[in-house]
Amino acid sequence: MANLLWIQAVCCGGETASLLNSDHPHLPAALRTLGATLLGHGYFHDQDTGRAEQVIEECASGKRHVDLLAVEGAVHPQAPDGSAWASAKPLAEWIRAIAQVADCTVAIGTCASFGGVMACGRNPLRATGLQFHRDQKGGLLGASFRSKMGVPVVNVPGCPAHPDWIIGTLWALRANRLDEADLDRFNRPRVFYGKLAHHACPRNEYYEFKASAAAYSQQGCLFENLGCKGTLCESDCNERLWLARTGSCTRGGFPCLSCTSPLFPDGFTPFFKTAKIGGIPTSLPLDVPKAWYVGISGLSKLACPERLRRNAVSFKPVWAGNQESNEDGPQNDRL
């Protein structure tokens, strides 16, 4: 059996909530598949405070072997631990010590990976990720850190991370099927972060013809006016769906905020309005050359079918024969 130690640092608990929402497999089945014993977790363990501190001390000293160290949340280098692991010693020191003896270390969520929400703005907490601070290598453990398996901290960002990303990464490490060559430039597993959230978005037909929604709940693309960053977000969110495999941000009519990025959240503001210069969005898609996008966008609008043009600013699909009008919306004339 492998020993899994899950430490919650400065976080909201969202990664744990996401993991508990795993449906295929459920968390108990995932742990059985991993062959893992959960040594400790702020929510799951049933140990009293003294016993919990003893476990973490044994892990840090090497008396108890740690196969997988999972850290949820950003770390504050000088903050005493305020979680279930009650100790006057800074939590960052415990994490440093355990990372040195654990077989591999995984940063769960954007805060643990890059600092995330906890490191945004002026960062009064001086919070940071385990091996990155935003998009710069370093973080708590330093750019040169390698685990006993010879890999850097494996980042599984997201706000929160999809449960498949978490379980799949832990399984791949446990099975020795993940090494540094399988990680991207931000130490994210390519299998989960090698695509864009934009790919497989159900609004892509609107995107191709630049048929854009002007208000939320309309049918059109959310990129041009309403702040969607799906063309910048490296994840498979629209293929690996959420909430019992039924939804995603854009499927729910909400703009993607690119929460898997090391620059989230500061680098993607404003969230709900697209910043533009001369009518062109300042954050252009990652998967097309910028010059191509600028040149083709005008032609795409000229070629837009009337069906898409009308539907884009409609609060429900416009069908032939439907002459109803939407409340506070445009007239749904028959096409």
Please identify every stretch of the chain with a pLDDT value under 70, giving residue numbers as ranges.
44-50, 78-88, 319-335
For residues 6 and 29, membership in a common domain is answered with yes
For residues 90 and 182, membership in a common domain is answered with yes
Q: Is residue 187 part of a domain?
A: yes
Q: Is residue 225 part of a domain?
A: yes
For residues 83 and 147, membership in a common domain is answered with yes
3-state per-residue secondary structure call for the chain: CEEEEEEECECCCHHHHHHHCCCCCCHHHHHHHHCEEEEECCCCCCCCHHHHHHHHHHHHHCCCCCCEEEEECEECCCCEECCCCCEEEEHHHHHHHHHHHCCEEEEECHHHHHCHHHHCCCCCCCCECCCEECCEECCCCCCCCCCCCCCCCEEECCCCCCHHHHHHHHHHHHCCCCCHHHECCCCCEHHHHCCECCCCCCCHHHHHCCCECCCCCCCCECCCCCCCCCCCCECCCCCCCECCCCECCHHHCCCCCCCCCCCCCHHHCCCCCCCEECCEECCCCCCCCHHHHHHHHHHHHHCCCHHHHHHHCCCCCCCCCCCCECCCCCECCCC
pTM over 0.85: yes
For residues 164 and 177, membership in a common domain is answered with yes
Q: Is residue 61 part of a domain?
A: yes
For residues 151 and 283, membership in a common domain is answered with no
Q: Is residue 23 part of a domain?
A: yes
For residues 132 and 156, membership in a common domain is answered with yes
Which CATH number characterizes residue 303's domain? 4.10.480.10
For residues 264 and 187, membership in a common domain is answered with no
pLDDT value at residue 317: 85
Total tally of structural domains belonging to the chain? 2
Domain carrying residue 313: 195-318
Q: Is residue 330 part of a domain?
A: no
pLDDT value at residue 332: 44
pLDDT value at residue 292: 78
**Structure confidence by residue, pLDDT tens digits, 180-208:** 999 999 999 999 999 999 999 999 999 99
**Structure confidence by residue, pLDDT tens digits, 6-62:** 999 999 999 999 999 998 898 889 999 889 999 888 776 555 556 778 889 999 999
Q: Is residue 333 part of a domain?
A: no
For residues 233 and 165, membership in a common domain is answered with no
Q: Is residue 40 part of a domain?
A: yes
For residues 74 and 105, membership in a common domain is answered with yes
Query: Of 135, 161, 192, which residue is a domain's last?
Result: 192
Q: Is residue 157 part of a domain?
A: yes
For residues 157 and 227, membership in a common domain is answered with no
For residues 209 and 147, membership in a common domain is answered with no
Which CATH number characterizes residue 148's domain? 3.40.50.700
